């Protein structure tokens, strides 16, 4: 039976320990702040370091190397150099949020992708969890992890802004969650450029101005930044019927199109804002 010891009893560590135990891996224990780590690698097949990135190197250095055990971390932004002096070093980064141990356990067992590197035990752990493995060039890990944070952390922060602005209209966040889900479904089906709708994409500066006038000043920087990103995405998609992209990437319109039979647009499930 494969045996592991987890260092870091936070959300990620407890999620990983529970998921591995559910798949028959012997989890010898979880060590935390103040525990003696010197013997952590003795008597196990792997040590999983589930601490914050900033202390992984310190934790690794505190563990006495054992040629029979691999030491792997869960960071998506760090390479294997932080695991010196261990010859058997690896990493596995689950591409899924782990907000609490029970939710994390379920998600880690749901076939999610993991980015792996180094010692084969990392890929073996992913296989036991039923996950999918992918690899990223070590020189591009920072960009990979930035994309992961934008896709999850920044999305959550953006929905926090939706909640605040919705409250100013007398509504709760739940009133807008179906809209957000439909937009995300459209991105998955069509790609970001084709899924984009709304006033920034169609060059409707009047609506954008009304939005800005209604917003609390503390919300304007984020709103303006996202409107600019929407313009950029629309510009990258090129001019579409009824709109024209200018040299600065902003979409202006509408423009005249040739007369013809009226057409009813096929709904993709997205609801245009504004």
- List of domains in the chain: 3-135 (3.40.50.720), 142-252 (1.10.1040.20)
Neighbours of 52 (CB within 10 A): 11
Give percent of the chain above pLDDT 90.
85
Residue 239: predicted pLDDT: 41
Q: Which of 24, 141, 156 is nearest to 73 (CA)?
A: 141
149-158, 234-243, 250-259: segment of lowest average pLDDT: 250-259
Using one digit for the tens of pLDDT, what is the confidence trace for 187-225?
A: 999 999 999 999 999 999 999 999 999 999 999 999 999
Q: Say if pTM beats, i.e. exceeds, 0.75.
A: yes
Mean pLDDT of the chain: 89
Residue 238: predicted pLDDT: 64
Q: Which of 16, 28, 24, 27 is nearest to 105 (CA)?
A: 16
SS (H, E, C) the chain: CCEEEEECCCHHHHHHHHHHHHCCCEEEEEECCCCCCCCCCCCCCEEEECCCHHHHHHHHHHCCCCCCCEEEECCCCCCCHHHCCCCCEEEEEECCCCCCHHHHHHHHCCCCEEEEEECHHHHHHHHHHCCEEECCCHHHHHHHHHHHHHHHHHHHHHHHHHHHHHHHCCCCCHHHHHHHHHHHHHHHHHCHHHHCCCHHHHCCHHHHHHHHHHCCHHHHHHHHHHHHHHHHHHHHHCCCCCCEECCCCCEECCCCCCCCCCCCCCCCCCCCCC
- Residue 240: pLDDT band (50, 70, 90) is very low
Residue 17: predicted pLDDT: 98
- Residue 9: pLDDT band (50, 70, 90) is very high
Residue 236: predicted pLDDT: 85
């Amino acid at each position: 039976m494969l045996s592991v010891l987890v260092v870091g009893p936070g959300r990620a560590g407890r999620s990983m320990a529970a998921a591995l135990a559910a798949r028959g891996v012997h989890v010898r224990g979880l060590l935390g702040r103040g525990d003696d780590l010197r013997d952590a690698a003795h008597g196990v097949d792997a040590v999983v370091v589930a601490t914050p990135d900033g202390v992984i190197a310190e934790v690794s250095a505190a563990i006495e190397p054992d040629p029979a055990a691999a030491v792997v971390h869960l960071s998506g932004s760090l390479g294997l150099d932080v695991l010196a002096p261990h010859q058997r070093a690896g990493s596995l980064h689950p591409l899924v949020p782990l907000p609490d141990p029970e939710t994390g356990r379920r998600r880690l067992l749901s076939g999610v992708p993991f980015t792996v590197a180094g010692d084969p035990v990392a890929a073996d752990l992913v296989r036991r969890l039923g996950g999918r493995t992918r690899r990223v060039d070590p020189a591009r890990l920072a960009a990979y992890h930035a994309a992961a944070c934008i896709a999850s952390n920044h999305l959550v922060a953006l929905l926090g802004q939706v909640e605040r602005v919705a409250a100013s209209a007398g509504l709760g966040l739940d009133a807008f969650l179906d809209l957000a889900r439909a937009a995300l479904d459209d991105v998955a089906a069509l790609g970001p450029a084709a899924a984009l709708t709304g006033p920034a994409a169609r060059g409707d500066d009047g609506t954008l101005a009304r939005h800005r006038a209604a917003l609390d000043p503390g919300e304007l920087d984020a709103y303006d930044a996202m409107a600019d990103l929407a313009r950029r995405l629309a510009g990258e998609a090129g001019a579409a019927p009824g709109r024209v992209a200018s040299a600065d990437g902003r979409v202006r319109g509408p423009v005249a199109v040739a007369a013809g039979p009226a057409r009813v647009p096929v709904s993709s499930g997205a609801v245009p804002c504004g």
